[in-house]
Every structure is written in C-alpha cells, then in structure tokens.
Amino acid sequence: MLPKGNMQALMQQAQEMQKQMEKAQKELETTEVTGSAGGGMVTVVANGKKIVKSIKIAPEILEEEAEMIEDMVLAAVNQAMQKIDELTQNTLGSITGGMNIPGF
C-alpha cells in the first residue's frame, strides 16, 4: 500500500497526464495529413479524426481505366490514414510514456 503522500502525488500525475492527453487530442483533430499515389496524380487530405477533407485527381489520368484510378485513390487514402495513426501514436505515446491506454 502506498503512503498517503505518494498516492496524492500519483493522482496529481494522472490528472496532469489527462490534461496533456486532452490538449494533444484537440491538436491532432486540427492536424491535416496528405496521402498520395501515382506520383502525386491522386492526393488525399485527411484530419486527425480520420475524416477525409479532400481528394484531388489530376485531370490527365481521368482517361485511364476506372479500376486504376480507384486503386490510386484507395492507396492515397490508406497512406493518409497510416500517417494519422503514426502521428497519433507518436504524439500520445510521448505523453503516456508508451503505455497502452484503452481508447487512445
């Protein structure tokens, strides 16, 4: 059992960590990442909440087969989502010291 002073210090640390997590999550929500495919012919912008904000397709590839364009869009979206996951893990991981906290 922890002495009362240590328990209080631990609770203060937990509260500070929670404040830092909330701040970091708000910052992540406004952060935007870009995924691209086909040498930049398809670009996707998404935010930290994994909401796709825009998709741009270069006009010169619109004459290609639909399946190829769909594959490039899919690749660009997946790249953007992977960047968000990495950014989230790095940002929140620095606060939690690498602890795996459910829901984050």
Mean pLDDT score, 31-58: 95
**CA 85, CA 82: separation in Å to the nearest integer?**
5
Q: What is the pLDDT of residues 55-77, one digit of tens each?
A: 999 999 998 899 999 999 999 99
**CA 104, CA 86: separation in Å to the nearest integer?**
12
Q: Does domain 35-99 have CATH number 3.30.1310.10?
A: yes
Choose between 9 and 73: higher pLDDT: 73
**CA 29, CA 88: separation in Å to the nearest integer?**
10
Backbone angles phi, psi at 88, to 5 degrees: -65, -45
Tokens standing for residue 91: 């940002």
Domain ranges of the chain: 35-99
Q: What is the pLDDT of residues 23-36, one digit of tens each?
A: 888 888 889 999 99
- pTM greater than 0.85: no
